[in-house]
Chain A
């Protein structure tokens, strides 16, 4: 089977010794979206294009998307793919994308069939998500329904002459405060789900968390477990710059972004999706996205691939493997195993109130400054209870950990892992 352009470009970058860098970007109007893709393409080689969809389209409210596009296109928080219609989007992609600049559509919907169909007809190179990672945090859709529609969606993609590349969003549950062993396990399980439904070009995500050493350990665990469990050898790892509460200052944001770049290079990721200093305040402009890509590129070029903080040794790989195994032991298809595992609390995303999530597990940032479990719920993981109750104040402290660490690095040293 012919390799899709997205997988091909990432492989070529790897051979050439370069990190692929990508931003998140979606605008309402066609002209602005086209200009954004051009600006990113022209920011340098080994960048990938992104079209992020608006929240009306994500929620299948196509009427509202069409109305807002007609009346206030600038107020849409992303690109209304369905409202624009396939011919217009196809023309834009033919004009902007190429084998050296493939474009990924990022959407966030637990019911992807309709947008997948439009992406296929418009000629998108890649998409992302997953039956768990786009259901539990973002929707009230039952997990079983998400699994059914993601199964059909993957099969639709797999039936194309050149199936598009699909990236799991499992490495980013709720953006922050989810211990890495569960992120790694969910990423591997969703990638296995994609392969089970016939897809070959897949990538696995991991979102930067709070401790560089722990993030190194997590990336190593993700690479190892993916190599062990996925068929073929063509998958790759994509790192997201931190997805939680962002620093308020420009310097703090740059420090956070700057820390994610060597993490990607030294941690063995082939692709990085950046954030911008505008993140804490509003949706970034085209120029801010292009500048963030250029900044990340300059940091990547100056990074020694063999340096960086030592990975921690917290047994993260073993814990992730135990979660994967406990899920697959339930038997049947990967989708069926995922549904059963969440129903029994063997997989349990901390703090996530979706009706199909047990919501018994709890996470914290411990004295070593690493993410850890404070309550295992029904999962086969090690938890150390916190000394006091989780209060609103404590939750705020946990959520703003990186904001404080990067806005005032001299005041917030990391804990010791001795």
Chain B
């Protein structure tokens, strides 16, 4: 696992998609990324595409992580990435998506192909082989590889403004154990869904 002080930290933006009211997945991802030593902007839930694009223009993250739980990832995800790739200044920004991406567990290979073809750099599907644990491990590997690509002197410039940081854990990143029983990316799924009223 990553999280060692030697890996340069990344500026990472985390966001839900426009129709997804799930929240705990975003809180979880922010904590996880901060434990890995990264500088996180949490763009929140039910985030319109324009808000995500605007935040990426402002903050220039090294990585955008889209977390989707309500089953609309395969519908809303391609729309977002096409808009991002269509703007020349964001066309090369690494963007990944993960979570529960379809309404059923049958067509995960197709979902991954669809989302990659649309422009995502990687897809971490809870429904793929190995389940959420494997998806999280692959995400961690991706993160480590991306951090290693950065030259040491190129760490985050100053401390950029972050949206709503969860206080605390970043300082303890170096002492973090591996995620062990963390059971899902971008888990845990929570029942405060759009349909929870």
Contact = CB atoms under 8 A, between A and B. Distances in A.
B182 A393 contact: yes
Query: How many B residues are at the interface, by size bracket?
Result: 35 or more
A353 B197 contact: no
Given A108-B196, A359-B164, A245 B190 contact: yes
A414 interface: no
A387 B163 CA distance: 26
Contacts of A389: 168-169, 171-172
B191 A246 contact: yes
A90 interface: no
B179 A392 contact: yes
Interface in B164-193: 164, 166-169, 171-172, 176-177, 179-183, 187-193
Interface string A143-174: 00000000000000000000000000100101
Given A391-B35, A391-B169, A55 B188 contact: no
A393 B179 contact: yes
Given A140-B47, A390-B31, A400 B23 contact: no
B19 interface: yes
A62 interface: no
A295 interface: no
Contact of A140 (B35, B46, B167): B46
A415 B190 CA distance: 24
Interface string A337-353: 00000000000000111
B101 to A, nearest CB: 15
A52 B194 CA distance: 10
B191 A245 contact: yes
A139 B35 contact: no
A108 B47 contact: no
B61 interface: no
- The main secondary structure of chain A at its interface with chain B is loop
B176 A391 contact: yes
Interface string B35-71: 1000000101111100100000000000000000010
A393 B197 contact: no
A390 B45 CA distance: 21
Which of A77, A106, A176, A352 is most buried by chain B, counting CB atoms within 10 A of its CB? A77
Interface of B: 18-19, 21, 23-24, 26-29, 31-32, 35, 42, 44-48, 51, 70, 103, 163-164, 166-169, 171-172, 176-177, 179-183, 187-197
18 contacts: A55-B194, A108-B196, A134-B197, A246-B191, A351-B166, A353-B23, A375-B167, A389-B168, A389-B171, A391-B172, A393-B182, A395-B27, A395-B28, A396-B28, A396-B181, A396-B187, A397-B181, A400-B188
